[in-house]
Structure 1
Amino acid sequence: MVKINEQTTPPPVSGEASDIYRDGTYLRNNPTLHSEDSSYKFAYICRLLERCTFPETSVCVLDVGGGGGIISALVCEKLAQQGLHVECHAFDLSPEMLAQQRANNRYITLASSDFGEICQQRYDLALLIDVIEHIPDNGPVADDIDEIARQVIYNIPIERNLLDWLRNLYMKRRYYAQQMTSLGHVHFYSYGSAKRFVREHHRPVASIFPDYSGHLLESDFPDYVVQRANQLRGFELRISRLIYWCLKPLAPWLIQGSLFILAESRSRPR
């Protein structure tokens, strides 16, 4: 089991960077906790849930760094609608976010900032949605998840692509530094490196590269409306959606997006 500091807690970030989760900075920078994307992400997660197997009628879900807890609530509700008895455990560094998760997800029976406590449990499904890019030493954390969860669903932002490379040049090489400051990202993945990360720690089952540009073009979230109103950004989004539908094999290497991946544990029996 990985131990990052004097507690048994492997935080998404360490040292000074970890303070942005504990001191409320991350919540101030991202007050919606990306809830505007929850339905969009859940639609793709549902497609992966169809590939999941649950041999027992009782299911325990682990949500790691789950923000406002909306996605885990939707996942738990969907599993419950299938006739399963569902409970959810939440791990997060931020007490404020754990409180929001408890409020938004009625299936949560344990909400903890102590990863040692989490690692004493066993899970049928772990959710790591937009999490590993925040964790400096994320390999050992993934190995711990592999030991305690039979199945895991990741969403990993793909930020090493042609358009983001051009964006970084346009911003005089400040783009990735800005992502670190505002979002707490300490890793930036390409399509290939994201798949490789999951393959090194689990047994991949299925993956989806979603229509992220389409989501931004269609969402009525005010920030996305503002983005579309910007001539350059609006043009980029329209070109990105064209690439997504016309050049699908190349799209993950060319445009912004993320990678949803379902994987099985290599440590636990099938």
Structure 2
Amino acid sequence: MVSNTEQHNIYTDGNYKEKNPTWHIEDSPWKANHVLSILKRNNLQPKSICEVGCGAGEILIQLYNQMPEYVQFYGYEISPQGFELCKNRENNRVKFYLKDLVLDNEAFFDVLLVIDVFEHVEDYLGFLKKINTKSKYKIFHIPLDLSLQRVLRINSILTAREQLGHLHYFTKETALAALEDTGYKIIDYFYTATNIDLHEKLAQTKFMNIIRKISFKFNQDLTARILGGYSLMVLTE
């Protein structure tokens, strides 16, 4: 995960690792494919890609396996427990650092990945302003925790806070506004079907996902706003 001086300490004291022992490594191929998709949609061919809050590092490993040999990858992680999961996976094109990217004055990359990160950061607006100088392009993946269904079932939001460490909750509109307010230019974005693609275990979830799929074909924004279960992939400058 990622930090600055105001960040909650659950990522450095082992609490997050205790609650999420895999550091969500199982979701990384899915996330990496969406990163590749938004790069391809916008004809971007970066030579350097950095991920802030890289966790176990699996997203970068997935990209390494699928992108040209000239691309170099860098992962920054402030959690010692997260760094333990990624440090032995380095190779000649993938490097990991137990370091706060915000404090690395020399760091600059073609693309910065901010995948399910800033909802965890206490001063997320300050954090967004600081990382804006670290790359030409930025790719964000943002959970859309605010929906009518989740507000009515408030325990699901509280679970995200307790289990996942989410401190801030967004709709598509507020997520994009936060980026624009902190100096980013929105180039492209699309929804990702988090619940449908990754959480298909319970019978109740399966039923809701059928409704989501049908509704999404008619109105994407309304489906995300009412039924939830989606995240947002955003490309910015």
The answer, yes or no, to whether TM exceeds 0.5 is yes
Contact 1:156 1:258 in 2 (8 A): yes
Aligned to 1:93: 78
Which amino acid is 2:99 matched to? S
Which amino acid is 1:191 matched to? K
Aligned to 2:205: 233
Select the residue among 211, 215, 223 that pairs with 2:197: 215
Q: Closer, same or farther in 2 for the Cα pair 1:213/1:54, shift >3 Å?
A: closer
Question: Could you give the per-residue CA deviations for residues 203-253 of structure 1, whole angstroms, max 9, x where no partner exists?
Answer: 111101022333146xxxxxx43xx24xx3332222222222333242221
Question: Within the alignment, does 1:130 sit opposite 2:116 as a pair?
Answer: yes
Q: How many residues align?
A: 231
Aligned to 1:267: none
Q: Closer, same or farther in 2 for the Cα pair 1:251/1:119, shift >3 Å?
A: farther
Question: Could you give the per-residue CA deviations for residues 142-183 of structure 1, whole angstroms, max 9, x where no partner exists?
Answer: 122211211111000001112212221xxxxx4333321111
Q: Secondary structure at the match of 2:220?
A: coil
Question: Within the alignment, does 1:180 sit opposite 2:180 as a pair?
Answer: no
Q: Closer, same or farther in 2 for the Cα pair 1:110/1:40, shift >3 Å?
A: closer
Question: Could you give the per-residue CA deviations for residues 51-92 of structure 1, whole angstroms, max 9, x where no partner exists?
Answer: 25357xxx222211112111122223333x2x52x3332222
Aligned pairs for 1:49-128 (under 5 A) are: 49-50=39-40, 51=42, 53-54=44-45, 59-79=47-67, 81=68, 83-84=69-70, 86-106=71-91, 107-115=93-101, 117-128=103-114
Aligned to 1:164: 150
Aligned to 2:235: 262
Q: Following the alignment from structure 1 to structure 2, what is the Cα–Cα distance between the partners of residues 10 and 132? A: 11
Contact 2:90 2:96 in 1 (8 A): no
Contact 1:208 1:260 in 2 (8 A): yes
Query: Larger radius of gyration, structure 1 or 2?
Result: 1
Give me the CA root mean square deviation.
2.2
Contact 1:163 1:256 in 2 (8 A): no
Which amino acid is 1:53 matched to? L
TM-score (norm 2): 0.87
Which amino acid is 2:179 matched to? V
Q: Following the alignment from structure 2 to structure 1, what is the Cα–Cα distance between the partners of residues 136 and 4? A: 20
Question: Within the alignment, does 1:193 sit opposite 2:174 as a pair?
Answer: yes
Question: Could you give the per-residue CA deviations for residues 250-270 of structure 1, whole angstroms, max 9, x where no partner exists?
Answer: 222122210000111xxxxxx
Deviates more, 1:250-259 or 1:21-30: 250-259
Q: Percent identity?
A: 23
Select the residue among 8, 12, 15 that pairs with 1:22: 12
Q: Following the alignment from structure 2 to structure 1, what is the Cα–Cα distance between the partners of residues 24 and 101? A: 24
* Unpaired stretches in structure 1, ≥5 consecutive residues: 1-8, 169-173, 218-223, 265-270
TM-score (norm 1): 0.77
Runs of 4+ in 1 over 4 A off after TM superposition: none
Q: Secondary structure at the match of 1:250?
A: helix
